[in-house]
Amino acid sequence: MDWQLVVVFVLVLSASLYLGRQTLRAWRGKSAGCGSCKCSGTTATNSSGARTLIPLEQVKLRTEPR
pLDDT along the chain (66 residues), means of 10: 94 97 85 52 59 70 66
What local confidence, expressed as pLDDT, does residue 3 receive? 94
What local confidence, expressed as pLDDT, does residue 12 receive? 97
What local confidence, expressed as pLDDT, does residue 53 receive? 76
What local confidence, expressed as pLDDT, does residue 58 receive? 72
Residue 16: which H helix or E strand, with range? helix 3-28
Angle at 54 between CA 52 and CA 60, to 5 degrees: 130
